[in-house]
Structure 1
Amino acid sequence: MWQTLQQWLAAVPVSSEIIQSVLMIISLLALRSILLSAHFRSHPELELESKRRSLVVSRNLTLILILLGLAMIWAAQIQSLALSMLAVAAAIVLATKELIMCLSGSLLRAVTKQYSVGDYIEINGMRGRVVDINLLNTLMMQIGPNALVGQLSGQTLSFPNSLLLSHSVRRDNILGPFVIHTLEIPVPVHLDSDAIIPPLKTILEPMCQPHIQNVSRYLKNVQTEKLFITPAAQPRITRVPFDDKVYKIIVRFAAPVEKRLEIQQAVLDEFLRVQYRLLNPSSN
């Protein structure tokens, strides 16, 4: 009989799974009705609440059996569909991986407020002033090409926002209109630092002096409002060993953003003059 039924199902121009599903659902519903009727007839003393409970339990059990039956009948098709959907999902993720990372980086920047238009930043060796930000990338005017040259080169740099997920961002003007600027000057190890630092101080300190009071007041306000640990506003020049060929002079000063390049260049000019005199004592 079962073989005859299978032959009949194969001859019907409708998917055998559909027919099997319909027959299975009808059979389970009919079986539920028969069992409920028999249960109620054999227990005529049941209260309404008990009958209602039996209806709910039988309905839920029938629903579970129907779902299990459909899963068994359509197992092959479900497996093929799941594999297809998994392949499509994997392909979509692979194709849009960079896009997703860029959007994630953009969200990270917006949440953490790492930088905005007009800020001076450095990321992955790229340094510049931000001029445009969108969901996918950041555009900035390049500063350089030398690290000690803070002027705009006239060229633009664009980087995907996905870099924000894997690289740190250095922002110069975190203190708003003022900046704590640091530059490193490599010096040949045989040149006496005591002969270099005093001339640099005579250039640095007078140029920073007009701004120290305003910078100190601003830094104090920032420390009170944002609970930042702010550095001192006084200019400092220190020296540190580097290797057997050079040591480094570290120049740190506070100034308005628009004045830092002027002060830095004045210090570098004076250093070059002092270095020339030390390397060429006969020309003095």
Structure 2
Amino acid sequence: MQFLESVKEWMVLNPTLVSALKYVTWLILIILTISFLRKLLKRKLPDTSVRYKSQKAIEIVGYVLIIILTVSYFTGSVKDFTLAIGLLTAGITITLQELILSIAGSFYIFIVKVYQPGDRIEINGIKGDVIDIDSIYTTMMEIGEWVSSDNYSGRIVKLSNAFVFKGPIYNYSQDFPFVWDEINFPIRYGSDLDLAKSIVISTTAEILSEYLTQSRLNWKKVVSKYYIEDAKVEPTLAITMTDNWMQFNVRYIVDYRQRRSTKNLLNERIGKAILATDNKVTLASATIEIIKIPDLNLTAQGSTVEDS
């Protein structure tokens, strides 16, 4: 009984410390609850996408509760929330500008669906596949840099969510998970032009046939959603006459994840088909033609020998 009286007396004499202890206790309780709920969702939800979004929602709720708790502690009343936020913002805007933009960016990403885990994007000059989005950072598996085409470099990049407000974001997979690509074939002058065109177009159409139906359906959705003209998704061929050869430029649509392998397959199949024409169609290469050898004056042992 005396112990309880002593505790009550201590609490009366130290109101600030008691208030701080209450704040820390509630803070720890909120953090532990959020951690418990995240682990529970991780075990109970089998679907990866639903589990990921649920965990992020719980995390955001935790941030909101901590903000409300902090404001209540410093102001003494939740009714002063607006005033406290205004004063707090005025004081820390400069020092925490990047952090505030990052948190705002995370809300913007989730609400507007700028991109989501699994998308391939390019932002702030960095290209890669999004593997995680938290309240401050977007985590990407980088592609490109010192490796060719769209292969992984092996580096994991953490990028501030604030960059969604600072520049363009290129999304390879949202709405339309296909890209247009091109490949060039130099055909020698004197080749059978009609046969060359037939080989290139038919081989390209055969290899890319699996993408055409799906890309048409996806493109129709893009046209209905955005103010954009209808586009041709079938392979197209353009021929350019150069000083050395006829350049066949093939433009085609392909899954953004299969650019490198598709280009390799096109080179291989079309190259074999051209070789099988018994020189009716020939691939060209850069050559140098010498028109005339100039006259030479040679000097040997002090004497001069002149060409007549």
The two structures have a TM-score, normalised by structure 1, of 0.50
CA-CA distance at 1:171 after TM superposition: 0.5
Q: Structure 1 pair 249/90, CA: closer, same or farther in 2 (3 Å)? A: farther
Map of 1:253 onto structure 2: 252
State the alpha-carbon separation in 1 of the partners of residues 157 and 267 from structure 2: 27
Residue 278 of structure 1 is matched in structure 2 by 285
Q: Are 1:159 and 2:156 counterparts?
A: no
> Unaligned 5+ residue runs, structure 2?
1-85, 241-246, 275-282, 290-308
Contact 2:181-2:259 within 8 A present in 1 as well = no
* Alignment of structure 1 residues 84-123 onto 2, 5 Å: 90-123=90-123
Q: Deviations over 1:103-139 (max 9, x none)?
A: 1222222222111000010012110000010111111
Deviation at 1:258, TM superposition (A): 4.3
Name the structure with the higher helix share: 1
Between 1:157-166 and 1:257-266, the stretch displaced more is 257-266
Please show how residues 25-64 of structure 1 align to structure 2 within 5 Å. none
Deviation at 1:271, TM superposition (A): 10
2: distance between equivalents of 1:239 and 1:104? 50
Which of 1 and 2 has greater Rg? 1
How far apart are 1:193 and its partner, in Å? Answer: 9.9
Which residue identity is paired with 2:179?
A: I
- CA deviations 1:179-235 (Å, max 9, x no partner) are 1333587x9xxx7899999576565332112331232234335545x4564533212
Residues 1:132 and 2:136 are matched in the alignment:
no
Q: May I ask how many residue pairs the two structures share in their alignment?
A: 184
Tell me what 2:180 maps to.
181
Any gaps of 5 or more consecutive residues in structure 1?
Answer: 1-85, 241-247
Please tell me whether the aligned partners of residues 204 and 263 of structure 1 are also in contact (alpha carbons under 8 angstroms): no
Q: CA deviation at 1:143?
A: 0.9
Give the structure-2-normalised TM-score. 0.47
**In structure 1, how many angstroms separate the alpha carbons of the residues matched to 2:117 and 2:129?**
8
Shift in Å, 1:268: 6.4
Partners of 1:259 and 1:143 lie apart in 2 by 13
**Equivalent-residue separation in structure 1 for 2:173 and 2:237 (angstroms):** 21
Which residue matches 2:262?
A: 263
Q: Identify the residue that residue 217 of structure 1 maps to in structure 2.
A: 217
State the superposition RMSD in angstroms: 4.3
